[in-house]
Amino acid sequence: MQALLALSRAIDRLNAFVGKYSIWLIFAATFISAANAIVRKAFDASSNAFLEVQWYLFAWSFLLAAGYTLLHREHVRIDVINSRLSKTKQVWIDIIGFSLFLTPLCVTILWLSMPVVIQMYQSGEVSGNPGGLIRWPVWAAIPVGITLLLLQGLSELVKRIAFLTGDGPDPMGKLSDKSAEEELAEALRAEAEIKQAQAAAALAAARQV
């Protein structure tokens, strides 16, 4: 179990890293959108490539962040009933979901998408729009993103089994992206602010007297 937990931690670090930096794809899409609007208004010129690269970047950011979103348990959940159950039952529901639904779905998507990506890469298929882009880079986002999601599903499954066997902590707690040093700095800063507020209150009380 400890080897599996080590693998789980490695997967978590991978998706945390990918999720942290995938936000730059959104920034790039926004920048290209603004630049395209400026060029179109100022010089009356544009290209479908600008439009297509925006949804290429959005597709990559959306799919790359799927594993990161699962890591932080931010996918849409129906908790009306689940939240009323015991922690053990909640964990069992997740185990069933990861085993019988998430994993088979990811494997099926990978099985169906890989031949399409390979075929598009070999053929060099290009968008039918004038000035459009080559197609395979955006299709490649599907197997890459789904692989990260599949790995994170495995990590979550390991953590929940470890919790049931007493080998791991509660997997349902809120995660933080901050390092231990950052959390310590925030705690010290909050403590300093409290002391400053207390000192200010004491000074105000002394002036009133």
pLDDT of residue 39: 81
Q: Using an 8 Å Cβ cutoff, are 136 and 162 in contact?
A: no
The identity of residue 5, as a single letter, is: L
pLDDT of residue 209: 59
pLDDT in tens, 129-141: 787 788 899 899 9
pLDDT in tens, 54-70: 889 989 998 999 999 88
Q: Using an 8 Å Cβ cutoff, are 52 and 133 in contact?
A: yes
Mean pLDDT of 164-172: 78
pLDDT of residue 180: 46
Domain boundaries, the chain: 2-177, 180-209
Instruction: Tell me the pLDDT of the chain averaged across its residues.
Output: 83
pLDDT of residue 170: 75
Q: Using an 8 Å Cβ cutoff, are 60 and 78 in contact?
A: no
Q: Who has greater pLDDT, 114 or 5?
A: 114
CA nearest 126: which of 51, 62, 58, 49? Answer: 49
Sign of CA dihedral 112, 117, 120, 126: positive
DSSP code, position 193:
H
**How confident is residue 189, by pLDDT bands cut at 50, 70 and 90?**
confident
pLDDT in tens, 79-125: 677 777 788 888 888 889 899 999 999 999 999 999 999 999 999 88
Among 1-5, 15-19, 113-117, 153-157, the minimum mean pLDDT is found in 1-5
Mean pLDDT of 11-22: 90
The answer, yes or no, to whether residue 167 has pLDDT greater than 70, is yes
pLDDT of residue 37: 84
Q: Using an 8 Å Cβ cutoff, are 61 and 23 in contact?
A: yes
The model's pTM = 0.75
Residue 134's beta-bridge partner residues? 126
Q: Using an 8 Å Cβ cutoff, are 71 and 158 in contact?
A: no
- Segment of 28-42, 100-114, 183-197 carrying the highest mean pLDDT: 100-114
In terms of C-beta distances under 8 Å and separation of at least 24 residues, what long-range contacts does 134-138 make, across chains too?
A: 137/56, 138/55, 138/56, 138/59, 138/60
**How confident is residue 196, by pLDDT bands cut at 50, 70 and 90?**
confident
CA distance 157 to 101: 12
Mean pLDDT of 179-193: 60
Q: Is 103 exposed, middle or buried (0-12, 13-18, 19+ CB in 10 A)?
A: middle
Half-sphere exposure of 169 (CA within 13 A, CB side): 6
**How confident is residue 178, by pLDDT bands cut at 50, 70 and 90?**
low
